[in-house]
Structure 1
Amino acid sequence: MDALVSALADPARWRLVGLLADRPRPVGVLARLAGARQPQTTKHLQTLERAGIVTSRRVGQRRVYALRPGPLRDLAAELTRLADLTEHEGGAAADLDRTALTLDAERQAARAPGWADGRAFHFHRTLTGDPGRVWRHLTDPSLLAQWWTPDALRTSELVFQARPGGRIVQEYRDAEDIDGTDTPAGRADGTVDDVRPGERLAFRLAPHLPGGGPAFTAHLELLLSPAPGDDGPTGPGDGPGTELDVHYRITDSTVDAADFVAGIETGFRQSLDRLAALLAETPAPATVPPARTGTTGHTETANRSTP
C-alpha cells in the first residue's frame, strides 16, 4: 500500500492515471495530453508500473499503457475503512468535534473571574464488582493510573493519599509519549476532603494552566451503592455490582480556564468508560484482604504510582 500511495502522490502521475482511466494509450499520446515531455512521462509511467497501477505492452513501434483497476479498488477500500473508523458514532474525531464546539462557547463566556463558578456535571455508571472492589479502583494509585485519564492519554505521575487532608497530584501525557520527552498534556493537584470506604469519596482538584497557576477548583463527590450485577455463584442476576454517581462542581474559575472547562464532560466520560471496561475485564480476586486503617479509622493506600 505504501508504494501505491507514493506513486499516486505525484500530481503528474495522478494526471496520467486519469488519462488511462478513459482507455489504454501510448506514451507519446499521454505526453501530449498531459502537456509534458515524453522522457518525463516515460519515467512516471515506469513508476506507476512498478507500483502495479499500470501495465504496458509493445504494440508495433509503440508502447501502450493500460490502467489496472485492482490496486485502485484496494486503495479505495482502505480509504473507506479509514473514513468509517473516523466517523463511527462515539469515535475520537466526533469527541474532538464536540469539544471544539463547546470550546467556542466557553471562550465567549470566559470574560471575568468566576465566570464558570457553580457549573456542575453529573456522571453515572453501573459497574461490575461490589463497592469494595470499585473503591480500590478509585483510591489505589496503581489502579487509578490505569483509567483516570481521557482517551489517548496516559498517567505519568500520580499521588493519591486516600485520607482526609491527603495530597493528590495527577500528571498525564500523550499515550504515545513513552519516554516523556514531550510537554505533559495536563497536571493538577488537590486535597482529599472525605473518605468513607465503599460509600463516599470527596476531594478537590485544581488543573494547572500552562503558566502553572490554577485554572479552577473542581469539587468531586463520588457516591457508591450496591447494585444487582451479572450472574453470580448462586444463580442469574445475583452477582455483585456497584452504582457509581459522580458529582462535579466548579469554583474559583479563571478567565483562562475555558479550554479546561470545555473538555470536562468528554474527558471524564471517557475516563469512566475506561474504569467500567477495566472492572469488566479484570477478574475479581478470590479473597480480599481487609483494608488497613490508621488511627483515624480511614483507609490508607499507597500514595504514589509512576508508570
Structure 2
Amino acid sequence: MADVADDVQQALSAMGEPTRFRIITLLAERPYAVGEVAEALGALQPQTTKHLQALEAAGVVTVHRLGRRRVAQLDRGVLGGVAAHLAALAEASPDDIALADYGRAVDRDEALVAAGNAGRTLRFERELPAERRAVWSAWTDPAKAAQWWAPRHFDVTTFELEPKAGAQIRVVLREGDGAEHESRGRVESARVGRLVFTLAPLDPAGRPLFSARHVVTMTGRGSTRLSLSIEVTDVQPGAAAAVAGLEPGWSQLLDALTDFLAE
C-alpha cells in the first residue's frame, strides 16, 4: 500500500504544475506529437519537452520515439490508479458520518437549550452475549467497566463506582489530544439486574451541565436483555454539545460493551 501511495503522490506532484496539467488535459483527447503539444500551449519546444519528461518520469505520460517523431500519450492505467486511490479516500468513514450527525444534533440542541426545552428521555435496548451476573459485573467492577465505558477515540483514565446506594461515581475520559472530560454522579440503588444512578458531565468550573438519571435493567437467562433509560433535566446554557453527544455516545458505549462481553 505504501508503494501505491508513493506512486500516486509522485503522479499528483507532477500533474499539479499548471502547464503540465494543461498537457494532461490536452492528451486526454488523443496522443499528440511533441511539436503539436508545444504549439497548443504556445510554448517553446524545449520547455514543453522538459514538462513531458517530468510527466514521463512520474509514469503519467509515455513518449513514443517513432523514428524522428516523438508522440506523447497518456498512460490511462496510471491515471486510473490515481483516480481509484482518490475515490477510496473520498469514501466517508463511519466516523465522518457520526461527526456530521453530531454536528447537526448540536445545532438542534443549541436551539432547544435557548428555548429552555432541551430535556428528554433516551432509551436503549441491547441483547448481550453473556449471562446476567457477567453483565452486572461489567457495569459495576471498575476494572471491567473502564475497558468499555468510552466512545471511540476516547480512553478511560478514571472510573470510580461502588454498587451501593449513596456511593459516588466519577468518570474521566481522555481524547487523543489529551483533553479530559469529567462526569460525576451518585448511585441511587443497586442490586444484581438493576442499577440506578445519576451521572452528568461537568463544565470547566466543576458544575453539572445537566441532570441525567440512568436506569439500567438486565433480564433473561443465558443471554441478557439490557434496557437503559436516561432522563435528562435541568439543562444549563452551554450544554448543547454534551446533550447532543448522549445518544451517539451511549450507542457506542453499548456497542463496546457487547464486544467486551463477546470476548
CA RMSD, aligned part only? 2.5
Mapping 1:38-77, distance limit 5 Å: 41-77=48-84
Cα distance per residue 1:41-90 (max 9 Å; x no partner) = 44443333233222223334454321111122223333333444x26xxx
Mapping 1:263-274, distance limit 5 Å: 263-274=245-256
- State the secondary structure of the residue aligned to 1:158: strand
For structure 1, the residue ranges without an aligned partner over 5 or more in a row are 228-239, 283-307
Q: Tell me, yes or no, if the aligned pair for 2:8 and 2:85 is still in contact at 8 Å.
A: no
Are 2:247 and 1:278 equivalent residues in the alignment? no
Q: Which has the higher helix share?
A: 2
Report the CA distance shift for 1:54/1:223 in structure 2 as closer, same or farther (over 3 A): same
Which amino acid in 1 is paired with 2:87?
A: T
Q: Tell me, yes or no, if the aligned pair for 1:115 and 1:255 is still in contact at 8 Å.
A: no
Q: Which among 161, 176, 184 is matched to residue 189 of structure 1? A: 184
1:129 to partner: Cα distance = 0.7
Separation in 1, partners of 2:165, 2:42: 77
List structure 1 runs of 4+ shifted beyond 6 angstroms.
Answer: none
1:261 to partner: Cα distance = 1.0
Answer with 243-252 or 23-32: which moved more: 23-32
Q: Tell me, yes or no, if the aligned pair for 1:106 and 1:259 is still in contact at 8 Å.
A: yes
Q: Which among 115, 118, 121 is matched to residue 116 of structure 1? A: 118
1:31 to partner: Cα distance = 4.1
TM (normalized to structure 2)? 0.85
Q: Tell me, yes or no, if the aligned pair for 2:170 and 2:185 is still in contact at 8 Å.
A: yes
Separation in 1, partners of 2:224, 2:123: 16
For structure 2, the residue ranges without an aligned partner over 5 or more in a row are none
Answer with 206-215 or 243-252: which moved more: 206-215
Separation in 2, partners of 1:153, 1:35: 57
Cα distance per residue 1:177-222 (max 9 Å; x no partner) = 3xxxx2425321222222112x111111121235543211211111
Identity among equivalent positions (%) equals 38
Aligned length: 256
1:224 to partner: Cα distance = 0.7
Answer with 200-209 or 242-251: which moved more: 200-209
Cα distance per residue 1:262-301 (max 9 Å; x no partner) = 1211111111111112222x1xxxxxxxxxxxxxxxxxxx
The higher-RCO structure (CA 8 Å, 6+ apart) is: 1
Report what 2:85 is aligned to. 78
Q: Tell me, yes or no, if the aligned pair for 2:11 and 2:59 is still in contact at 8 Å.
A: no
Separation in 1, partners of 2:228, 2:143: 21
Which amino acid in 2 is paired with 1:243?
A: R
1:135 to partner: Cα distance = 1.0
1:39 to partner: Cα distance = 5.3
1:121 to partner: Cα distance = 0.3
1:110 to partner: Cα distance = 1.5
Q: Tell me, yes or no, if the aligned pair for 2:8 and 2:81 is still in contact at 8 Å.
A: no
Separation in 2, partners of 1:151, 1:6: 34
Are 2:229 and 1:222 equivalent residues in the alignment? no
Cα distance per residue 1:119-155 (max 9 Å; x no partner) = 1100010101101011111122222222212223222
Which amino acid in 2 is paired with 1:24?
A: P
Which amino acid in 1 is paired with 2:241?
A: D
Separation in 2, partners of 1:36, 1:186: 60
- State the secondary structure of the residue aligned to 1:110: helix
1:168 to partner: Cα distance = 2.2
Report the CA distance shift for 1:19/1:173 in structure 2 as closer, same or farther (over 3 A): farther
Which amino acid in 2 is paired with 1:276?
A: T
